[in-house]
Amino acid sequence: MTKGPISVELLRLKKLGKLTMSQMCPSCSHDNPDTAHSCSVCGTAMRGLLGENIVLSSRYKVTSVLGCGAMGAVYLADDQRLKGRRCAVKENRLDPSASPDVQSQSREQFLAEASVLARLDHPGLPKVSDYFIEEGREYLVMDYVEGEDLDSRLQRTNAPLEETLVVDWADQVLDALSYLHNQQPMPIIHRDIKPANLRLDTRNRIKLVDFGLVKLFDANNPHTKVELRGLGTPAYAPLEQFAGSDSHTDARSDIYALGATMYHMLTHVAPPNVHERLLNPEVLTPPNEVNPKISARVQRIVLKAMGIHPTERYQSADEMRKAIAEKSAAAIVAPAAKAAKPAKAKSGFSPVLFGLLALLFIAAIGAAAFFLFSDRAGSLPPQQANAAFDPEPTATEFVPQSLSDAPTGTPTITPEATEEPTHEPTSEPAETPTDTPTLTPVSSPTATGTAVGVQSGTIPASSLVGTIAYPVFSGNSYDLYFGQADGSGTTLFRKGASQPAFSLDGSRIAFHSWRLDSWGLMTMDLTASDGYLVARFVEDQLPTWSADGTEIIFFSRREGDRKSRLMKVGSTQVGSNGVVLGEGEYPAIGATGRLAFKGWGATGSGIKTASTNLNDLQSITGSNDDTAPMLSPSGDRVIFMSHRQGNWDIFIANADGSEAQPLAETEFEEGLPVWSPDGRAIAFVTNRDGGEWGVWAMTPDGNDQQKLFDMEGSPDGFIGASRDASRGWAEERISWKN
């Protein structure tokens, strides 16, 4: 976009009160005056972007720039309605010089695409949640994918990437493409697969982002033509995406782009443009001549995917996935890297004619590119020539750059070096148990709760000392209370808080804050009035302290798939994104420093224990109905709550999974168990007293069950309308300190 239209647009928006008197830098996000031609910090040429903190659609507060192209940008924004949620807001600007008909077609296409994308639900795709048009600009809102794009990974490593990683990532992309290509009634073609549009999330899973060039493919209309969003990135775009022929783009176009992407990642060399290959096939150097570590099998897969004509490629994502999974290299047939006679097109369309049309089209658009851009270079500010992040299109890149959630060179957020290791986890925990212990059948306890076969006992008075922190749902939020274990009274500690966890020495507390000004996980000294916001997402839950108090482990559903993962941050590390440890929920670290948690996925269902890095994984139970585990101070026993018998009961088991049995088994709800600091009593919450909730205690064998104090209400509630933000009392906690 030239400076003239940008200035006019900014002035118009400012008059309407839609823009502050600023614009963010497309490279470093620094807020500059709206009159600036280049960034005062990094010197990058201004592009007329939105100003920092502008609110779109009365909901999305823009905080920084994730990527920028010639026709718009992608912004990182805070969702003001769902506090703690960050999202990527993609902006598409209409060409002000385009005719009203073209602009109208663009809007119609945008709305059609957005409505389709909003219905997609796949773990390899960011979830689209909203779309709108505001002041002549189109916006698409989707989940922000924490992590690093593969283009940034290539630049950071400055070397070819490992074959096993690239093949695994390609398989994940193909799974997402299979989902897109098999949509009904119209398949969805991405049309811009490239390293910058493949993002690795915090658990090393690929997300296919940027649907700026998405095409709804109507298989019944051979003249389908959706060209309003550009032609893709030349190094990865197939020939048919440039050529205006009846052989329009289809699923095989995405196959080519993925093959070219694999070539780049495996060799650290961008592949030549496809029209260069059409003129001289030898311009494509076989991958293993660049990187001898590439296997012959993977080379054949890449070259077949990169066939110049669509009929030379894999015909579907599923076919390419099958080739990747195939163990025998002989089962894979690939075209030669050198010139070969192309196969006859199934549609009857001549490949020779296909190539001639492509050459004519390339010549035409090359001339158009020269006409459009040759008179602009001299009028740009001098800083534009040195802009490292967003070069202007050249005669080769004659189309507007597509938008990406993380452009080349954009710094990615990584854990602080002083708090966390710099390496990224590359796999799930390796020691998944193969045999899950089963619960030992026992007889029902007596009416007093004494387990059959266990000697009766009483709680020593010396054990009922200290403070128990517990949550109470107030009707629209949680409040955090302190009660004395001797039953002498309760006090309100903090409004808008729950999920408490005292540090081992009892001097500090961690909790989930529901306040709008501090939504997330907080740590603080008990004598202080403020603390540290160590994790700032509403989906971050149930913090627990490491034995030395330097780290917090918690579980989170912050990613778009809402799956639960254990993470860790420094206990005073403000604003960190944390490090993913693996899959699991409800973590609790005992006095010995060992971690207990509810497992799922790679760690298996049921109650598990492990080191705080999720090594030395041990299985206690195998039931998905079990949760809220707590290790005894000596580490030899585990208590937990379970819903396997129709209502919540409290169970106990040895740390090796043996002798598991229920303790406080009644017709009422019993749960959130916690050990006394000396390990001689167990506190829990129950509504057995006429439906009224209270904190009770018993011995570890289930005897001497007694009420310690009444609670001010129920621990069960949901914050707002989102069941992802809070899921009731089974994801709450009580904590006991001396």
pLDDT digit string (tens) for 702-727?
999 999 999 999 999 877 544 445 67
Q: Are residues 31 and 163 in the same domain?
A: no
pLDDT-derived band at 636 (thresholds 50, 70, 90) equals very high
pLDDT, average across residues 241-267:
83
Given a contact cutoff of 8 angstroms between Cβ atoms, the answer to whether 661 and 442 are in contact is yes
Are residue 228 and residue 300 in the same domain, yes or no? yes
Whether residue 525 lies inside any domain: the answer is: yes
Q: Which two tokens stand for residue 338?
A: 């050198």
Distances (CA, A) of 443 to 292, 616, 627, 656, 665: 66, 32, 22, 21, 11
- C-alpha distances in angstroms, 86 versus 129, 411, 462, 579? 12, 17, 48, 18
The per-residue pLDDT for 355 is: 53
- Show the 3-state SS of 58-96: CCEEEEEEEEEECCEEEEEEEECCCCCCEEEEEEEECCC
Which DSSP symbol is given to 337? S
Answer whether residue 233 shows pLDDT above 80.
no
Domain assignment of residue 628, given as a range:
461-737
Domain count, the chain: 3
* CB 361, CB 242: distance < 8 Å: yes
Separation of alpha carbons 334 and 286, rounded Å: 12
Can you give the pLDDT at residue 397? 29
48 torsion bin: left (phi>0), alpha (psi -120 to 50), beta (else): left
Same domain, 722 and 692: yes
Structure tokens at 323: 């080739």
pLDDT value at residue 561: 67
pLDDT recorded at residue 373 = 35
> Does residue 391 sit within a domain?
no
Confidence band of 386 (pLDDT split at 50, 70, 90): very low
Q: Determine the residue type at 76.
A: L
**103/136 Cα distance (integer angstroms):** 10
Identify which of 360, 75, 130, 99 has the alpha carbon closest to the alpha carbon of residue 228: 99
pLDDT tens figures, 353-377: 455 555 554 444 444 443 333 333 3
Give which of 661, 629, 667 is closest to 648, Cα–Cα: 667
Measured between alpha carbons, how far is 316 from 253 in angstroms, rounded to an integer? 10
Read off the CATH number of the domain in which 510 is found.
2.120.10.30
Q: Is 60 exceeded by the pLDDT of residue 476?
A: yes
Counting residues of the chain whose pLDDT is more than 90, the rounded percentage is 47
Task: Say which DSSP state 609 is in.
Answer: E
**pLDDT computed for residue 173 by the predictor:** 97
| Predicted pLDDT of residue 401 | 30
User: In sequence order, what DSSP letters do the residues of 493-544 get, joined into one string?
Assistant: EEESEEEEEE-TTSSEEEEEE--TTS-EEEEEETT-S--EEEE--TTEEEEE
Non-local (6+) Cβ contacts of 284 within 8 A are 271, 272, 277, 306, 337
Q: What angle do CA 535, 559, 604 make, to 5 degrees?
A: 100
CATH number for the domain including 39? Answer: 3.30.200.20
Burial of 529 (0-12, 13-18, 19+ CB in 10 A): exposed
* Residue 551 or residue 144, greater confidence: 551
pLDDT at 270: 92
What's the pLDDT tens digit per position in 565-604? 999 999 999 877 889 999 999 999 999 999 999 998 889 9
Q: Which residue has the higher pLDDT, 571 or 225?
A: 571
* 205 and 322 inside one domain: yes
Range of weakest confidence among 232-236, 389-393, 651-655: 389-393
Residue 701: what pLDDT?
93
- 452 domain residue, yes or no: no
Judge whether residue 404 has pLDDT over 50.
no
CB within 8 Å of 523: residues ≥ 6 apart: 508, 509, 510, 531, 532, 534, 543, 552, 571, 572
Domain presence at residue 388: no
User: Both 118 and 257 in a single domain?
Assistant: no
pLDDT at 406: 34
Cα separation, 480 vs 493, whole angstroms? 6
Q: Give the integer Cα–Cα distance in Å for 130 and 117.
A: 10
Buried b (16+ CB within 10 A) or exposed e, 107-142: bebbeebbebbbebebbbbbbbbbbbeeeebbbbbb
Least confident of 196-210, 310-324, 567-581: 196-210
Tell me: pLDDT of 192 over 70. Answer: yes
Does residue 266 fall inside a structural domain?
A: yes
In this structure, are 132 and 113 located in the same domain?
Answer: yes
In a domain, 407, yes or no: no
With respect to residue 438, please indicate whether it lies within any of the assigned structural domains.
no
Which among 112, 143, 174 is the end of a domain? 143
- Among 126, 143, 160, the domain-final residue is 143
- Out of 347, 373, 399, a domain closes at 373
Per the domain annotation, does 389 fall within a domain? no
Task: With a cut of 50, say whether residue 383 has pLDDT above it.
Answer: no
Domain match, 97 and 193 both: no
Q: Are residues 591 and 733 in the same domain?
A: yes
Digit-coded pLDDT (tens) for 485-521: 999 999 999 999 999 999 999 999 999 998 866 788 9
CATH number at residue 216: 1.10.510.10
Distance, CA of 65 to CA of 78 (rounded, Å): 12
The pLDDT tens digits of the residues spanning 667-710 come to 899 999 999 999 999 999 999 988 899 999 999 999 999 999 99
**Element containing residue 31 per DSSP (H, E):** strand 31-33
What pLDDT band is residue 243 in, cutting at 50, 70 and 90? low
Q: What's the confidence (pLDDT) of residue 569? A: 94
Residues 63 and 199 in one domain: no
Percent share of the chain, pLDDT over 70: 73
pLDDT score at 409: 36
> Which is more confident, 346 or 288?
288
Residues 123, 178 within the same domain: no
Q: For residue 241, what are its two tokens?
A: 């995406």
| Together in a domain, 109 and 155 | no
Backbone phi and psi for residue 499, each to the nearest 5 degrees, phi listed first = 55, 55
Quick one: 497 and 643 in the same domain? yes
